[in-house]
Each structure stands twice: as C-alpha cells, then as structure tokens.
Copies of this chain bind each other. A is one copy, B any other.
C-alpha cells in the first residue's frame, strides 16, 4: 500500500511507526500541506534507506503517486482542505484531529467523504494507550454499571510553539486541538450523544502565544442526564516529569474507574481502588490500515471523527460567545 504524508505539524509519527511494523506499507511521498510548513522534521524520522519523493505541492504528489492512504498533518486550519482534496481523488485519509476547524469546513469534509466511499480516521491516538484501552475495556465489561458522571483532564506544557499556534485561523483553538481528546474519551466511554455544552476559555498568561487559549473548561450534558467536565490547560510546569497529565474519571452506578498518571484504578464490588493490570498498547495506524485491508473495523470510525470534531467546535463556540449551546 502506498502512503503519502502531507504536512509535518501533527502526529505523523503514528503513521511512520506503523509503516515500520507492516511490510505491505510504503511511504512514497512527502509534501507540506500548509504555506511555509517545514517538512525537515519528518525527513529526519524516516529511514534513510527508503527512497521517498519530496514534493512542494501535495496535489501534484497525490495525482502522481495516487496513494492508498494520505496522512494529513499540516497546520490545523488546513486539515479540512487537504483531506477533501484526498477524498475527492478516491484516497483513504488518516488525518490529524480536529478534522476541521470550522463548521463549514467540517461539512465540506463530510460531503467529500460520503461521495468518496473511502475510509477516514482521525488521530485520536490516545485511545490506544494502555491506560485508556484498559479502562475502556473494563467499562464496556460493566465494571462501573451505568455511567453517570465523567471528569476529564488535559494538561500540557506550553514551551515555545510554532507561529501557526498563535493564530485562531491556523490553530483552531485550544478546545479543538487539546480538549478534543477529552471529548473523544467522553464519547467513546459513554457511547452517549451530547445534548448541550457550556464552555469558557482564556488567553491570559499565554506567554506571547497570540490567540492561543491557556485555560479552558467545558461542561457537557449527555443523554440520560450524564454530565461530563473537561479541564484543559497549557500551564503544566516545564519541571514536570511528563509533557502531559491526562486524566479520566468515570463514575457509574456500580463503581468508579479512573486513569491517573498512566495507571488505572477501580473501585466496585470486587475492587477497593487498587491498580488494574494494563493491556498492551495498540497501534492506531495499523488499526486503520487493517480496516482498509478488510480485516476488521478500526476502533475510530469516520463518524466518531466527525462527531467529536463537531462537539469540539460547539464547545469553542460556547466559550467564544459565553452561552450554553444546545446540540441536535
């Protein structure tokens, strides 16, 4: 299977690492997806023995190589345009999240997806981490009963971000870029649809990062009066032992499970809060490749990718406008 990489701004590593594990896969071409995007970073990640063609224009690359999969990871405001170009050419798309940074762009992608009859998967790669995978399997196995309340947390170090992070148009916002993972967990674990969102965000103390929001807080109401909080910040101190501090707490009628510091803890009739042994890590890219090969279903569907992106944009709208947004 031929693979092309477009952009170097997101988690292209998912694809590059996946390719190394499957002999059927070959990276054929690389091109920037956004104006001024430097693709040196990816070239350094790829095996020097591989002969990979470098293009200035991703359209030219897609037309020349006609790959089976386009990996889209350019500036976030350009995901939708690039994804649409690939789908229109009948190419499967593995795209960085969010799928789009505006509702109009999201509709454009959805429309191209429907016409294409191809596959699409957004990079909700955290689902494949041992701690999230383990907690999810426990919940689906009934370990906490009916879910009633979810608390999610994303906390990142800010460091010095590229220029495109500083502009809403190219970055999209901290809720759709960082918070979207939490929204994905909430949806993935609960399987419930979102009814409303109330969110706030603030650019204060963003250390010269322009439009980038340093803190955000989302309050979701899902079907069956399930509530979910999502706390997001770029204030994790540089001295912290890890880049991120992802957390998830699922409160159910029969128990509480949580992901904390890359471990999973469960309290229910059988467990008193002890650590649960972790499942091995999954591979998001190979999961997607296998679906394309007809070998099973990828854990992240195109519908999930669109819906979670949509909810992240509704949350951003709520924060921008300071009002509760009701979701159809």
Binding site for B on A (CB under 8 A): 146, 148-149, 151, 153, 155, 198, 200, 202, 204-205, 214-217, 219, 221, 224-225, 227-229, 231, 233, 235-237, 239-241, 249, 251-256, 267-269, 271-273, 322-324
Shortest Cβ-Cβ A-B pairs, 9 listed: A202-B225, A217-B227, A219-B219, A198-B198, A149-B215, A229-B229, A205-B253, A237-B267, A240-B267
Distance in Å from the Cβ of A74 to the closest Cβ of chain B? Answer: 30
B residues near A241, Cβ cutoff 8 Å: 272-273
Asked, given contacts A198-B219, A200-B227, A267-B236, whether A151 binds B153 with beta carbons under 8 Å apart, the answer is yes
Chain B residue with Cβ nearest A230 = B229
B237 with A269: CB separation less than 8 A: yes
B215 with A273: CB separation less than 8 A: no
B251 with A267: CB separation less than 8 A: no
B residues near A236, Cβ cutoff 8 Å: 256, 267
Chain B residue with Cβ nearest A237 = B267
Question: Which of B227, B235, B269 interacts with A253 by CB under 8 Å?
Answer: B235
Question: Which of B148, B233, B239, B322 interacts with A233 by CB under 8 Å?
Answer: B148
B residues near A252, Cβ cutoff 8 Å: 235
A255 with B237: CB separation less than 8 A: yes
14 A–B contacts from the bound complex (CB under 8 Å): A151-B231, A155-B256, A200-B221, A204-B225, A216-B227, A217-B228, A217-B229, A235-B252, A235-B256, A236-B267, A239-B269, A240-B256, A241-B272, A323-B324
B251 with A224: CB separation less than 8 A: no
Distance in Å from the Cβ of A46 to the closest Cβ of chain B? Answer: 34
Distance in Å from the Cβ of A223 to the closest Cβ of chain B? Answer: 12
Asked, given contacts A240-B267, A268-B239, whether A229 binds B219 with beta carbons under 8 Å apart, the answer is yes
A256 with B227: CB separation less than 8 A: no
Asked, given contacts A198-B324, A256-B236, A272-B240, whether A146 binds B205 with beta carbons under 8 Å apart, the answer is yes
